[in-house]
Amino acid sequence: MKRIIVVGNGMVGHHFIDQFIQQEKMAEVQITTFSEESRLAYDRVQLSAYFSGKTADDLMMTSPEYYDDNGVQYFVNDKVVGIDKDAKTVTTAQGRIESYDKLVLATGSYPFVPPIPGKDQDHCLVYRTIEDLEDITASAKESKVGVVIGGGLLGLEAANAIKQLGLETHVVEFAPRLMAVQVDDGGGAILRNKIEALGVTVHTEKNTKEIVKGETCRYRMNFADGSHVETDMIIFSAGIRPQDELARSFDLTLGERGGIQIDDNCLTSDENIFAIGECALWQGRIFGLVAPGYQMAKVAVDHIVGAGQLTFTGADMSTKLKLLGVDVASIGDAHGNAQGAQNYVFTNEADQVYKKLVISECGKKLLGAVMVGEAEDYGTWLQIYLNDMDIPGSPENMLVPPAEGGAVTMGVDALPDSAVICSCLDVTKGQICAAVQDGATSIGDIKTITKAGTGCGGCSALVTQVLNAELASMGVEVNTDLCEHFAYSRAELADIIRVKRIKTFEALITEFGAGHGCEVCRPTVANILASFWNDYILEDDHLGLQDVNDVYLGNMQKDGTYSVVPRIPAGEITPEKLIVLGEVAKEYGLYTKITGGLRIDLFGAQLHQLPDIWAWLIREGFETGHAYGKSLRTVKSCVGSTWCRYGVQDSMSLAIDLENRYKGLRSPHKIKFGVSGCTRECAEAQGKDIGVIATEGGWGLYVCGNGGMRPRHADLFATDLDTDTLYKYIDRVLMFYIRTADRLQRTSVWLENMEGGLDYLKDVVINDKLGVNTELESEMEANIANYQCEWKTTIESPEKLLRFKHFINSEEQDSTVQFVEVRDQIRPATPAERAGQIPVLEVS
């Protein structure tokens, strides 16, 4: 069996392994990989998301189980320190000696730290690994001011990180502009303006001479020009260097300035050793993006399996980023260095937008581009550049579309099948089209089949365009009808119900539908009716429309019992009420659990017990928590400035007010809020549908985040809001979501599918683009005014209480309910326990 050793388990090393696993010859090899870090491969491209609520687990790209299932041997916390090229073995720091037939060096790079006196002190850090992020987070807890040395891509990401941690933030750059490699002077000026407007101080043309003890802060950075800045934390992000120490020590050919020299097959000077990723030097170039590393990995796999079809011929270094919330993109020859190149520049200082096209001397070819502040055309321009296509129309019309003709666009139909749509995973238009022809009908299908869009995600819009164009070419029309009974989408039905002021399902289906309805349209219409009119959902006109959870005002569990979840706004509860919950649970023998949403859930209530439990809770001041509905579930909060020494606003009071304001609001899907009293984000507000974070100037509002199966980080919507404006914006966002979202659509998916995305939503909510804000606010006020506790309304109606029996003509209990005691509480009996093989508890 052939043995392959991969030194380094970063993104590129893992991609090599993942590519090899797909090969038929995987059964003929044994792959072993070494990681000197404590974990397997994780997504360094999304590293900044760690400061936005994602955990190390969220960033993982693989798992021990995946490697075990595919026969990959792996070692963490162990570094390869020796190579014996003659014996074809490697030696590790822990003393392991492993033999190889082929060796793949994927050692990556390390952060360059300039030789500045004082650089090795505490709180002088780098920004490269998860461990580095943990060190930065720890330092931030003892710091007020942070400085990043380096104004490139990673430097601005690091600045964003420490700003999110609540520090006064500075960026120090040696060059005369930020991102000097990617943007020109004009783009750099706009970028600087936008970043400084966000509260980050930028210092350009600064050469740090020394780091000494500070007067007002921990350190003082003295610059060569005589100026200085004081800071408590310093992050070095001044570039990377290839990690070539192993190759250097064991006689592999290196470049003059470092990097392991490779040929077009990614082979080093040894015929059995490959190098891929940021450690590899090809024709004098180091490629510092993940996409070229992935291409190298594919070439190395192809060469090892003997296919011989692929070679590495360089890589495009175009990139699109969002730094501190600012769109920045660079394509090809962004600086116009080509002979005869012509520059076309558009600057909008009012909106802080800068665009530049670099056009060939003949005026037909796009050689490069720069975008700052707005990058919607990036996907189109990149494809024109990569595929050497003639530009559509004139260059000036690409920058500023003529009013009479609209935007100058290039449809995806014009792209050849060979056009690479996803550069990270090297997925072409032809592969996406083939997937559609094989049955893919959604962006999720395309991601599953081709992996396009699962890398950095920058190609998602273009992938969707290719998908839709191919579906259209096949004559497939996407049917947005809710079901066979209504020839309308959910959003269209919501408009009909709202405008026509329809109050019942029967009235709606009589005038706008056909038949009697189904399990799709009936609960959907029930949800819309509740969103606008907030009637009691168990009224006779509404009762037959509800899901089982809504019918019984509790979540049905796997054994047919129900959970009871009283509202505890923001998790604040008095000792007396806490005792009541204990007494209720003890009286009815319920299982109790404190949830992640600041609730105490009581499980195991039988149908006939629900009204008695509700009555007891209501007497003691509780009300329904609506855990059973597509509605506001919880508002999670920290203790804020009331107790916490870091809190800058009273997050508890705001969270309670928000929960009481929106309780009972029915929506297309469940919604969750979070309120944090400072930027340390203990309430995880940026992972919620509506997130609020306290600032020194008021409140920052985040929208459309969620956890669950596909977590999404919420987007910053507005900052430094006063409380009244915050309520207005939330009212408008939620009611616009209720009006326009699809059936069972989370806010995160709603925003992702919205044409124009976050900018459009801001335009609607903040600038009243559609002229509907007064209506939205009025509709929300009406909903709030009609709130009722559904538990209370039910127990006050003898007629409705008749539903809460197991049998119509008998008071008997449900004899099929059986429990087992575990950790002094009950749980549902398993099938084996029900069959009498294991003793169960009798239900009284």
SS3 category, 762: helix
Q: State the pairing for strand pair 168-173/200-204.
A: parallel
Alpha-carbon span 212 to 221, nearest angstrom? 7
User: Cβ neighbours of residue 492 under 8 Å, at least 6 residues apart?
Assistant: none
Using a 10 angstrom Cβ sphere, with 0-12 exposed, 13-18 middle and 19 or more buried, the burial of residue 106 is buried
Give the dihedral sign, CA 372/375/377/378: positive
Return the exposure string of 265-297: e unless at least 16 CB atoms fall within 10 Å of the residue's CB, then b: bbbbbbeebbbbbbbbbbeeebbbbbbbbbbbb
Residue position matching structure tokens 């039910």: 794
| Phi, psi at 705, each rounded to 5° | -100, 165
User: Cβ neighbours of residue 842 under 8 Å, at least 6 residues apart?
Assistant: none
The amino acid present at 510, given as its one-letter code, is: T
Report residue 572 CA to chain centroid gap: 29
Residue position matching structure tokens 């309430």: 683
Using a 10 angstrom Cβ sphere, with 0-12 exposed, 13-18 middle and 19 or more buried, the burial of residue 95 is exposed
289-292-298 Cα angle (round to 5): 140
- The pair of three-digit structure tokens given for residue 155, joined into one six-digit string: 């430097």
Instruction: Say if residues 638 and 682 touch (Cβ distance below 8 Å).
Output: yes
- Edge-to-edge strands, sheet with 353-359: 319-323, 326-332, 366-372, 353-359, 342-348
Alpha-carbon span 744 to 668, nearest angstrom? 5
Instruction: Say if residues 806 and 607 touch (Cβ distance below 8 Å).
Output: yes
State the binding site for siroheme: 682
Q: What is the DSSP letter of 545?
A: T
Percent helix / strand / coil, the chain, rounded to 5: 35, 25, 45
Helix (H) or strand (E) holding 65: helix 64-69
- The pair of three-digit structure tokens given for residue 691, joined into one six-digit string: 């997130």
State the binding site for [4Fe-4S] cluster: 638, 644, 678, 682
Alpha-carbon span 782 to 164, nearest angstrom? 37
Alpha-carbon span 356 to 377, nearest angstrom? 12
User: Cβ neighbours of residue 648 under 8 Å, at least 6 residues apart?
Assistant: 641, 677, 678, 694, 695, 696
- Edge-to-edge strands, sheet with 600-605: 555-556, 562-564, 600-605, 591-594
Alpha-carbon span 310 to 132, nearest angstrom? 36
Q: What is the 3-state secondary structure (H, E, C) of 675-731?
A: EECCCCCCCCHHHCCEEEEEECCEEEEEECCECCCCCECCEEEEEEECHHHHHHHHH
Instruction: Say if residues 815 and 606 touch (Cβ distance below 8 Å).
Output: no
State the binding site: 638, 644, 678, 682
Helix (H) or strand (E) holding 562: strand 562-564
The residues with which 223 forms a beta bridge, in sequence order, are 208
Q: State the pairing for strand pair 124-126/366-372.
A: unpaired
User: Cβ neighbours of residue 85 under 8 Å, at least 6 residues apart?
Assistant: 250, 251, 270, 272, 273
Instruction: Say if residues 674 and 685 touch (Cβ distance below 8 Å).
Output: yes
Alpha-carbon span 410 to 783, nearest angstrom? 45
